[in-house]
Structure 1
């Protein structure tokens, strides 16, 4: 009877072990999923809050200005109609719509002569560059059916091609910088300091070449302020492309023939530099994480090494105490 009960208990325990493993595995998966959902929810909350905070700041900064501009426009409109009583409000709106349509096509109406509009070869090349780089200023766009269809297929092929080329160019630039850095480091002492110095100088030089110099160039040829030039360069290289400031776009200014080509080359290599900067930042973050992991590992190892002599001493002391206790017990037994 006892043997049968023992066998039955063993069978139930063996049946219970797989079930317990399944339950534990299910709980582990549920906890992992819950942790991932919590992190996603937290990240989404931070993202939405960041967007709403930005919207509130822009609303306070720009909203009052818009109301003031609208009031000034209404005042100037009424003053203009009072000076020209023969011009009605309806005719003024028609003239304004006509001027706006002409301006959107790159035509200037300040003189008797007009420019040739946006669709020159140079400006068309800049437009093609903004399409494949997804900048999309919005200041010019195709209006013909064939132009719109070609733009769709041109972007379908050009955008992936642009991403591949920019990534490759950024990797080659990073490899070139790394080779120069390794070449110099091998011939000097204090390798870490030299490596940090070379990376810093490389960043400063490329920043001057692809950001500071373009700011000075567009300020000179576009007649913008320093703030507007910095704003335009950042909006362009970040591919935000609002279109409120666009190079080679003012029909009232005469640009040299090489200016549009310089702008296209700057957009391409500037985006490649940005890709280089992103790749280099990712590499630095990975190296920093590896350094922190190695540092924590070394700290834990040193802590264990410090605790080991104490444990050995405790074990030795316990062994000595036990031996003395055995000796005392043996001596008492002999006396008895």
Structure 2
């Protein structure tokens, strides 16, 4: 403009010529770089999600101070919210898998006729417990695969959709910009040129961050398993277990269970919990392990009778006197079985 004013004075150009020259250098306006309600919302979203929206920025001192305070308050709340949404989605996926698995097992059991119904009734509880454990493990692995596949499909979908909002079809650049966004680097390049399409980008980024949180959570579980490969259990008694929002030590939990079952705390304290947990994990994973022995569980040379209370010692010494009905029922069932065998032989 300063150059045009000089030309107007020196060369005495007409106004029409000056307007034509000004039109050649007229800057292009970008709605995404102007302060309004939508772009301000995206800028605030970029702050609380730590993504950043580089189209606009505050220029006044008061605006920059407010931006700092807004980020200090909003970032922790947003991170907690996104993490909870991701966990809810992960839990929902696992519950859907478990329901499908239960329906499949129920449908299969209805079509399969078992010949020995008595044997099924005797072993029903144990089989149900084993199936629940296996279903839980399989559901965890299945949910992990589904979530990773959903994350990849979601990124590919955004790589096709977001460039179309600008009237373009550029899958590679769209994939690149999606990677920058969902890895919390920058999402300004995903913003379409038309302000009317900004809410679509806003919703896409919100859902994508939740899926990214799930993928990171699933990956951290496998990294944690990889970290403990080849390491033995140490200090299991002091390990804390999460129950909802509270924690409890393994030893305190065993003390409470032992108290309900009539086992003194001193007996539990003398157990080698590290070895017990390793043996239990090995059996749960299907590895060949010998059954636990007394010397594997109790880390002392004292006989087991000295570790029991007087009441427990009396029960162990006189089981028939303490439980006469149970013992008589067992004797009666054995005598009935022997008489049936003799009758079959005589026939």
* TM-score after normalising by structure 1: 0.47
Comparing both chains, which one has the higher relative contact order based on Cα–Cα distances under 8 Å and sequence gaps of 6 or more?
Answer: 1
* TM-score after normalising by structure 2: 0.46
The structure with more helix, counted as a fraction of residues: 1
